[in-house]
Amino acid sequence: MDARTVVGDRYELVMRLGEGGYGEVWKGFDQSLDRHVAVKVIRPERFPTPEERAEAERRFRREARVTARLRHPGVPVVYDAGVSGESLFLVMELVEGYRIDHLIDAHDPLPVAWAAAIAAQVCAVLAVAHARSLIHRDLKPVNLMLCADGTVKVLDFGIVAMLDAPNATKITQMGQGVGTYCYMPSEQAITGKADARSDLYALGCVLHELLAGRRVFESAIVQAEMARHYSEPPPPLRSLRPDVPEEIERLVLSLLAKNPADRPASAAEVYERLLPHVVALPPLPGTTAAAPSPDPGRMYAAVVERIAETALVGPRVPASPAAPARRLSKGDLVAARGRAEELALAGRVSQAVEILEEAVRAGAALAGERHLMIALRMDLVNARFAARDYGTALDDFDELLPALTEMLGADHRAVLECRYNQTLSLAALGRDEAARDEMTALLADVRAAVGEHDALALELRREIAELLARMGDHRGAHDRLSALLPDMTAVLGADDPEVGHVCVLLENLDRLGG
């Protein structure tokens, strides 16, 4: 790509801002809306085969849609995503500011109040993202920007999920984006999967670096640094910088706990523990600037805060009565199922959920259509699962499964797969022990119903092993994967990507001492 190139028939590339493992970042100009934007252009060589490119484009569009629904002042707005020639591109709000890694270099060490202020703002972003089951997965100083008014923007939300390749979990393939592995918990490095607690670990790495001026386990050899994340306790901050408050030192150590269950429960909890330290912030010359007086942003926020206080203590205003559900015929409900399926296949899952919700409400009074209503409810829960609304989906699974089992029988494939998605919802919500127990029980039922070598049985065995690795039982995970590999190879063949994935997991466990 060169300056003056136009992508998507409207975004003119003006100036290259940066380059990374996934491609280039440009300052661009939206010719349609007459404004500057940031344009991320993804390298076509990341996806050498047509099959990989097609899968990458599908995943890219899906993740862009999910990320675009994240609304928070600390996250740049996603404007557009698409394909231009052989390249994928993402158009976002252009953020002007000072990258946090540059800030650390310029102000070493950073004042405690500023470190707390930066980390607390990141927590505010993570709190709203995690509530929507959105995980950053690549939180590090390079992806954080301090603006002139002191606000922090979290960049590249969802970019890793958009671009993940099947071999992305392989620790040996670090070449590009080496820094990522220096902020990654061992459970994510082993499995390639992340959850909210993985982001909190990365936040602990960032907060440590803000206060100490160096990474937690800094080393010239990246693989050695990653192994230390697995094997060594982090150095207490006060041993490196005595003026760090004891509470912040305890907080960072808890964020860097090896076992995800030992980390803070949420980003909101971390925020509350940081906020008391955001006091008496000194100026950062050359980085922040005095706000205009009066500051329109603060004026707006002050009113909103007073409204929120009133809403908490004031009388509740009676809600307007909900509009009655439309009466739909059986044919209407069947058509709604078809339309929802088309939307879901096109990646427009939130629209599919809306259509199915209305169909379920409208069909509740339809007599004699129990099977159709169960099918609609099953489509709805699966759509919510696909939309990452795991909490609602889990409640729906609990309500749906007894009726589905009664209708089809406990050994029916649809029932087993529904139970499987239920266990994945538990895991996605961080309820690891419950997910492990339910997966183990389901595996026994799957083996009895369809056999040891059925695809679902193999997939369950891999998921249980990955869950054990995430919970810190690396030996148990290694033993299960070692037993799984020959069975999976016999069924799928040595060249199958899933077999390759298990090989990578075993290699990662071996490299990290599993």
Could you give the residue numbers annotated as active site? 138
3-state secondary structure of 109: coil
DSSP 396-464: HHHHHHHHHHHHH-TT-HHHHHHHHHHHHHHHHTT-HHHHHHHHHHHHHHHHHHH-TTSHHHHHHHHHH
CA distance 292 to 82: 38
145 pairs with which residues across the strands? 99, 153
What φ, ψ does residue 27 adopt, rounded to 5°? Answer: -80, 125
CA distance 106 to 103: 5
CB half-sphere exposure, 212, CA atoms < 13 A = 21
Nearest in space to 182 (alpha carbons), one of 127, 141, 131: 141
Question: Hunting for tokens 């879901």 — which residue is that?
Answer: 344
Decide if 363 contacts 333 (C-beta within 8 A). yes
- Give the Cβ contact number of residue 284 at 10 Å: 18
SS3 content of the chain, % helix, strand, coil (to 5): 55, 10, 35
3-state secondary structure of 50: helix
Q: Which residues of 426-464 are buried (b: 16+ CB within 10 A; e: fewer)?
A: bbbbbbbeebbebbeebbebbbebeeeebebbbebbbbb
CA distance 188 to 204: 15
Decide if 420 contacts 385 (C-beta within 8 A). no
CA distance 339 to 328: 15
Burial label for 287, CB within 10 Å (0-12, 13-18, 19+), is middle
Six-digit token string for 241: 């910088």
Amino acid type, 253: L
Beta-carbon contacts of 83 under 8 Å, excluding residues fewer than 6 positions away, are 57, 89
C-alpha pair distances (Å), 355 with each of 68, 339, 342, 352, 380:
20, 8, 11, 5, 9
Beta-carbon contacts of 208 under 8 Å, excluding residues fewer than 6 positions away, are 215, 216, 234, 237, 252, 256
Quote the crossing angle between the two packed helices 267-274 and 112-131, to the nearest 10°. 160
